[in-house]
Amino acid sequence: MPPNGTPVGDRSTDAIGVFDSGVGGLSVLRALHSELPLEKFVYVGDSGHAPYGERDDAHVIARSHSIARYLIELHHIKALVVACNTATAAAIKLLRQDFPDLPIVGIEPALKPAAQSSHTKVIGVMATRGTLNSEKFGSLLASLHGQATFVLQPCDGLADAIEHADATKTIAACAYSTGAMGQFGHESGAIDTLVLGCTHYPFATDILRSLVGPNVTFLEGGAPVARQTRRLLAERHWLAPAATDADPAALFRRMPAFFTTGNATNLHTAVERWLQVQADVQFIRIA
């Protein structure tokens, strides 16, 4: 592996790195594993330095670069998925500059598909302040000018409440955010599509559904990220080889490895609850 982390040669059996500020990226990992079941994934939850959405860009950029370097140097990843809207908005451009030959996939709020599918053309967007205030989000929003009305809602504290499995705070934050956005439903002028612009928020879907009703469409970004990751690996012929019964490494490739800079028990509980798998979670320090 060259010093700058440039992948060379046949990388088909190497892992895909995935990182988020905490447990939220598990929603993206779930989509990735569904799309790419033969791949091995290494997941880093940077809970010890969260929440990203309420920190400045310099903090998010520094953490993103450190985690990318860790995944490249210690796990020899063949691709990197930035499974955090805030980190994508703040850092992905610089990550691609620093590691130009490493396939890097980011995530962004699903505004484009929302504009295409909404009937009332009024779309709610729940996200962190870091995402909503970013230049990348502003450009995305500007590109859709005139196609729909977007009701932007910064959800202070929601990602952190989900991160710590605090049901009371999660319910309160969801209730406040949806209450501040206005009317939901199919009536003219009502929000009929809700974009979940933080990877933590899909894990509050049941709560949100109880608040906005059954007729609102929820959109998140995990599936498009998974499809883009597949496409980039296929272009390079780096997709994991098909498994056979005689391949003892196949099962190993399917089992993600989980690391956290925060409380390992929190991530372990989240993995069991939301991915429904038993997994070891290791605490690590990433400077």
The domain spanning residue 92 has which CATH number?
Answer: 3.40.50.1860
Structural domain including 82 reads 16-107+222-283
- Identify the pLDDT of residue 86: 93
Residues 189, 123: one domain? yes
Q: Which two tokens stand for residue 113?
A: 């598909």
CA gap 106, 91 in Å, rounded: 10
Tell me, yes or no, whether 3 lies in a domain: no
Q: Is the pLDDT at 7 greater than 80, yes or no?
A: no
End residue of a domain, out of 170, 187, 219:
219
Band of pLDDT at residue 254, cut at 50, 70 and 90: low
Q: What is the mean pLDDT of the chain?
A: 92
Residues 277, 197: one domain? no
- Identify the pLDDT of residue 74: 97
Q: Which two tokens stand for residue 33?
A: 């594993």
Dihedral-angle region of residue 69 (phi above 0 means left; psi in -120 to 50 means alpha; beta otherwise): alpha
Q: Which two tokens stand for residue 285?
A: 């320090």
Task: Count CB neighbours of 157 within 10 A.
Answer: 18
Total structural domains in the chain? 2
Residues 125, 213: one domain? yes
Residues 158, 103: one domain? no
What amino acid positions are annotated as catalytic residues?
84, 198
Which neighbouring-strand residues pair with 149?
Answer: 122
Q: Which two tokens stand for residue 254?
A: 């399917």
**Residue 219's closest CA among 97, 75, 123, 87?**
123
The CA R_g of the chain, rounded to the nearest whole Å, is 19
Q: Is the pLDDT at 9 greater than 80, yes or no?
A: no
Determine what percent of the chain is predicted with pLDDT higher than 90.
Answer: 87
Residues 126, 55: one domain? no
Contact 99, 36 (CB under 8 A): no
Tell me, yes or no, whether 11 lies in a domain: no
Q: Is the pLDDT at 5 greater than 70, yes or no?
A: no
Q: 156 by DSSP, 3-state: which? A: coil
Exposed / middle / buried, residue 226 (Cβ in 10 Å: 0-12, 13-18, 19+): buried
Q: Which two tokens stand for residue 116?
A: 């295409």
Residues 145, 273: one domain? no
Tell me, yes or no, whether 56 lies in a domain: yes
Spatial neighbors of 40 by CB under 8 A, at least 6 apart, are 13, 14, 15, 16, 240, 252, 253, 254, 255, 256, 257
Residues 130, 40: one domain? no
- Identify the pLDDT of residue 194: 98
Tell me, yes or no, whether 6 lies in a domain: no
Tell me, yes or no, whether 21 lies in a domain: yes
Mean pLDDT across 126-135: 94
CA gap 86, 98 in Å, rounded: 19
User: In this predicted model, which residue has the larger pLDDT, 26 or 277?
Assistant: 26
Residues 192, 249: one domain? no
* Run of H or E residues at 282: strand 281-283
Tell me, yes or no, whether 156 lies in a domain: yes
Contact 114, 219 (CB under 8 A): yes
Determine what percent of the chain is predicted with pLDDT higher than 70.
Answer: 93
Tell me, yes or no, whether 234 lies in a domain: yes
CA gap 218, 202 in Å, rounded: 9
Tell me, yes or no, whether 135 lies in a domain: yes
Task: Count CB neighbours of 29 within 10 A.
Answer: 25
Residues 64, 161: one domain? no
- Identify the pLDDT of residue 245: 55
End residue of a domain, out of 172, 197, 219:
219
End residue of a domain, out of 204, 219, 234:
219
Residue type present at position 135: E
